[in-house]
Amino acid sequence: MAITFIFCIIIGRLLYVQIAWGSDLQELATDQWNREIPIVAARGIISDRNGTVLAGNRTTYSVFLRPNAVENAEYTATVLSGLFSLDPQQIIEKIEGGKVSEITVARQVGKESIEKLVSYDLAGVYYSRDNSRQYSYNDALCQVLGFTSNDGSGLSGIEKYYDNILSGINGEITYSTDIIGIETDNSVVVYKAAKNGDEIRLTVDMDIQLAAENAMRSVYASSGAKAVSCIVLNPQNFDILALVNYPSYDLNDVPRDDTETLNALSRNGLVSDIYEPGSTFKVVTAAANIEEYLQGNAKAFSNSYVFNGSRTRTVDGTKIKCWSDHANGKHSNQTLAAALNNSCNPCFTDIALSLGSETFYEYLNAFGFGNVTGLDFTGEALGMLVPQTAVRECDLARIGFGQTIAVTGVQLACAVAAAVNGGNYYVPHFLKSIISADGKTVSEYAPVLKNKVISEKASSILAEMLEGVVTEGSGTKAYIEGYRVGGKTGTAQKYEGGHVAQGKYVSSFCGFFPANNPEYLALIVVDEPQGTYYGSAVAAPVAKEIFEDIIRIKNIERYI
């Protein structure tokens, strides 16, 4: 009886091992008697809207060492240390340590070094092809493209956001070995091909991007600013055509050992940082007023209404005044168009207070403030908008002319674009299409309409007023003879520790053309310019320079 019981236990154990553990044990055995050489998938390229390669690959190699297969540890360590600038003693310790079956000796090694390695015919040393990322324009578009890790994974920017599309699927070469890892004479080699990553084609136009880069470098040098930035987009679909943050860094020489510098230079400030926009925000306030008047709201002001701008208002005990001292009748008795030309604060205070918080906040929300735009990029900031339930009259008054609200550059550019393109707020985007490794279009991005912020009629009226700002108002330094340019200047004081930072300003200009049917919009932001700091003098000329370059690049004819 006891013998029968023991026999049953043994049989049961054998059945359990064969059936329950069978597949696991087979995998362990296969792993012990087989070795794999990885075949790294080529990372998909990143190109601009015209197919110009922005991020590509150069062929490099990874070198591996299998300690059990090494015949002469000291000689092997000497050769590898000489070829790859390594510590020979550390290599010997790894070979003799017996803790791992395979060691990565070096990555992203050039062909010349591999040819030398092959000539030594070292037992236990292998290599495989991998890829090193190579960027065609060094620092251009660096905060947008981002960079990869040493093993080829996306760490920032488009490289990170679309990593799953760009990375592909690695393959491998498998062959059988003896128990210590040496390939057997009758080894069967199994090849599993890699699937290369797909191409990401961006909306960016590299010709426009380079023009914007040059303009940003120039104003950075001439203004002595802390930083400068620019975004150019197509108001008809919110394609981002160019985006620059300066200073920048070289994508082919990423300062990986200096984390603080890398974080500062690789940050896409137009997407991730917020600032008080100042008078460029008056475009939104004017848009809300015009639309409400067309809808018959008695609290809105007509286009012919004459504002009495020659005064300082006190709201909730807070004094609100214009940038001008209004001496000699300046800014007195002006229409909305004139108020935009003169950038007169009290007029926009009147609009915000008259419309009231409920109505004005409907427009602020529709224009995307206090929320992300939905841009296909990581780290987009929400901006800062006082909750409607907590907003005071003095807050509302200041929001009307661009204070007590903070925005990202992308938010503001999209808001102005929607205000002048017929009232259509689209989701901004970098992706134009995805192209497979064999050249076929996998998908094509279609514009996504997010909101209808104002009517086409209101938008047309506003665009005409903003054209007046450039022809005869504060934006005249953006004027281009023979072309219809519209826009709005902005000069905002900076705050530190809750108080005005003396002598620190953000100067900006948001312009577009042709004014009657905008195809290009540019937002210029100059952070802490030295000396002259008005947006009309610092930022508007930069927009003109970029627009003139676009006119030349695209061969756009004069309208008259």
Q: Where in the sequence numbering do the catalytic residues fall?
A: 279
End-to-end CA distance of the chain: 111
- 31: its two tokens: 């792993």
Beta carbons of 396 and 352 less than 8 angstroms apart: yes
Strand boundaries in 140-194, DSSP class E: 171-176, 190-192
Please tell me whether residue 60 adopts helix, strand or coil conformation.
Answer: strand
Closest to 303 in 3D by CA, of 266, 338, 336, 349? 336
* Position 92, amino acid: I
Half-sphere exposure of residue 40: CA atoms within 13 angstroms, side-chain side:
25
Antiparallel, parallel or unpaired: β 53-65 and 171-176? unpaired
User: Nearest-5° angle of CA 546, CA 549, CA 554?
Assistant: 125
H helix or E strand, kind and range, residue 258 = none
DSSP summary character for residue 345: H
- 557: its two tokens: 């004819």
Does residue 199 come out as left (phi exceeding 0), alpha (psi in the -120 to 50 range) or beta?
A: beta
Antiparallel, parallel or unpaired: β 199-202 and 46-47? parallel
User: Nearest-5° angle of CA 424, CA 428, CA 429?
Assistant: 140
Separation CA 149–CA 478 (nearest Å): 42
* Position 287, amino acid: A
Closest to 215 in 3D by CA, of 526, 533, 535? 526
> Residue 71 class from Cβ within 10 Å (0-12 exposed, 13-18 middle, 19+ buried)?
exposed
Strand boundaries in 369-485, DSSP class E: 384-385, 405-406, 424-426, 431-435, 441-444, 449-452
Q: Is the dihedral of CA 351, 534, 328, 338 positive or negative?
A: negative
CB neighbours of residue 102 within 10 Å: 16
Could you tell me how far CA 482 lies from the centroid of its own chain? 34
Separation CA 175–CA 301 (nearest Å): 81
Residue with tokens 């128990």: 179
Strand boundaries in 136-181, DSSP class E: 171-176
Helix locations, 442-499, DSSP H: 456-472
Cis peptide bond upstream of 247, omega within 30: yes
CB neighbours of residue 8 within 10 Å: 10
